[in-house]
Structure 1
């Protein structure tokens, strides 16, 4: 896993916990993976939008290498 931001939003196959959405976002923007996962979990727990967004990104963002 790299810390630098990459050009494409792709769900990597290595390092996934569920679908790799948080990992894809962290890699794309160069953000801390733990922080992205924490914010994702909070959004899922406290808003209905978090789960809908996660599922939508799971479907939309392509799976990569």
Structure 2
């Protein structure tokens, strides 16, 4: 498992689902589907997504060796 960060590639909106998919070894499409389906249920899903978007750091760019 890798660190929980928002990756620079594979993002759609904020990169939260892509980051969760990398961390837990699931596909990003599965996380996106879970999020969209959960939005029809009552609860703070959208607020949790926004909080993760603000709190998760961006993935650091790969350093180039000179």
TM-score category, normalised to shorter length: 0.7 to 0.9
May I ask how many residue pairs the two structures share in their alignment? 60
Higher helix share: 1
What stretches of structure 2 of length at least 5 have no aligned partner? 62-66
TM-score by length of 1: 0.81
TM-superposed CA distance for 1:41, in Å, is: 1.2
Q: CA RMSD in A?
A: 1.3
Q: Whose radius of gyration is greater, 1 or 2?
A: 2
1:20 to 15, 28, 31: 15
TM-score scaled by structure 2? 0.80
Counterpart pick for 2:52 among 48, 57, 60: 57
Q: Which residue of 1 aligns with 2:42?
A: 47
Q: After the TM superposition, which segments of 4 or more aligned residues of structure 1 sit over 6 Å from their partners? A: none
For structure 1, list consecutive stretches of 5 or more residues without a partner in the other structure. none
